[in-house]
A and B are shown apart, each in its own frame.
Chain A
Amino acid sequence: MPRTTIVQFPGSNRDRDMIAAIAKISGISPTLAWHTDTSLPDSDLIIIPGGFSHGDYLRSGAIAARAPVMKAIAAAAGGVRILGVCNGFQTLTEAGLLPGALMRNARLTFVCKEVKLQVANATNAFTAGYRDGEVIRCPVAHHDGNYFADQKTLKSIEDNNQVAFRYAEGTNPNGSINDIAGIFNEQGNVLGMMPHPENLIEPAHGGQDGRRLFEGALNMLETESA
């Protein structure tokens, strides 16, 4: 059974959705970790969920990125799969575990709606359940999702195929450069994304396009298709 750890910060609010999604998909409840923890249990997948950590004071994810638990996450990032969604993505960039930064949405408003995502690289475990170029549905809910990286960083991200998802068909909701919705680290075991795949994993959600991301991350795709 795949072991998942979900890290909670003061102000995490999508953690419950993530716990429910993981329990449903993997068949086993995730272990929960608190931001003050200095070590994490052995895990196949570590998730930083969405919300507003520490009130998002200073910059979104900035305080969370300096929390004690991030040292354990940085150590795990050497090999363990790590997923940051929304505030988790902001936290991973603030911690330097992913390149670039997430700035205020270009239109300055909080966006809460469904967008279309194009799978930009399906060769990674996280995206192995999708086809390259496939367009999927996914909800977004954020104020600071405007991905930015300087030209040199952007070039290296693109050259290394580190873009996981792009906003498709003119649905870029926040002004992100190159329509970037989610990126991998160089090694490919850390994924950060603004959209919320955990909110589209069962028919009751109105669709399950997000489900394959977790099945891929948890090496559950074979059993799924068998």
Chain B
Amino acid sequence: MSMNTYSAQVRVTLKRGVLDPQGKAIEGALDSLGFEGVNQVRQGKTFDIKLDANSKKEAEVSLTAMCEKLLANTVIEDYAVFVE
């Protein structure tokens, strides 16, 4: 099987129920800029990752392991993996 290069995005967000003071501050700033109707802002992180793998499935498995071991702190964060 030949290795392909995949472009992936990992999204890490705070779990529901975990307070996000940074999101709250951004919400307040949007309000003071006059943006109306913003009910909630939750801040997170994205990682754009290029990786070599034998298949899309293998890339997803590898990225999930990266999230569990480093990219997310699963005590407070959820993650989602997207592979193109």
Residues of A within 8 A of B (CB): 58-59, 62, 66, 93-94, 99-101, 103-108, 146, 148-150, 153, 175
Q: List 9 A-B contacts (CB under 8 A).
A: A58-B70, A59-B73, A62-B70, A66-B70, A99-B75, A101-B75, A103-B19, A104-B22, A153-B75
Known A58-B70, A62-B70, A66-B70: A106·B75 in contact at CB below 8 Å: no
A107 and chain B: residue at smallest CB distance: B21
Known A59-B73, A93-B75, A103-B76: A108·B25 in contact at CB below 8 Å: yes
B76–A101 CB distance below 8 A: yes
A106 and chain B: residue at smallest CB distance: B21
Q: How many A-B residue pairs have CB under 8 A?
A: 38
B19–A101 CB distance below 8 A: no
* Closest-CB distance, A89 to chain B (whole angstroms): 14
A103 and chain B: residue at smallest CB distance: B76
Residues of B within 8 A of A (CB): 17-19, 21-22, 25, 69-71, 73, 75-76
How far apart sit A153 and B21, CA to CA, in the bound complex (Å)? 22
How far apart sit A146 and B18, CA to CA, in the bound complex (Å)? 11
B70–A108 CB distance below 8 A: no
* Closest-CB distance, A162 to chain B (whole angstroms): 15
Known A62-B70, A66-B70, A108-B25: A150·B75 in contact at CB below 8 Å: yes
A175–B19 CB distance below 8 A: yes
**Contact of A108 (CB < 8 Å), options: B17, B21, B76:** B21
- A100 contacts which chain B residues (CB < 8 A)? 75
How far apart sit A93 and B76, CA to CA, in the bound complex (Å)? 12
A108–B22 CB distance below 8 A: yes
How far apart sit A54 and B25, CA to CA, in the bound complex (Å)? 27
* Closest-CB distance, B12 to chain A (whole angstroms): 10
